[in-house]
Amino acid sequence: ELPGGIEQARSHCEQYVEVTGDKVYNDWRLPTAAEIQIIIDHQDDSGAMAEVLSGTQYYCAYNGVDSRGEIIYTKVVPGKNSNSSHVRCVRDAY
């Protein structure tokens, strides 16, 4: 859980950097709810990728607002409930 909520989540993604060989990736952002759903669909319903979103709530760029006034995507998982919100940064690959 981030004490700074959605603003800290946005800041985290804006400052996040990955370096692979001679490539620097520094253009990360919070995903939209639709992008989170795409990741969930591909990790849960196909063998295309490993599970990368194992939590139940994620900060996102656009979606409903929860009771704390945060922008949250909630993944419905039978038998699993959490009050912790997670951050998953994404970047555009074009």
Q: Kindly give the confidence (pLDDT) of every residue in the chain, 94 residues in length, as a single tens digit, with 9 standing for 90 and above.
A: 566 788 888 899 999 999 999 999 999 999 888 888 888 888 866 666 778 888 878 888 865 555 454 566 777 665 666 667 788 899 998 7
pTM reported for the whole predicted model: 0.74
For residue 86, give the DSSP letter. Answer: B
Q: 3-state DSSP call for residue 58? A: strand
- Distance between start and end Cα atoms, the chain: 31
pLDDT of residue 90: 93
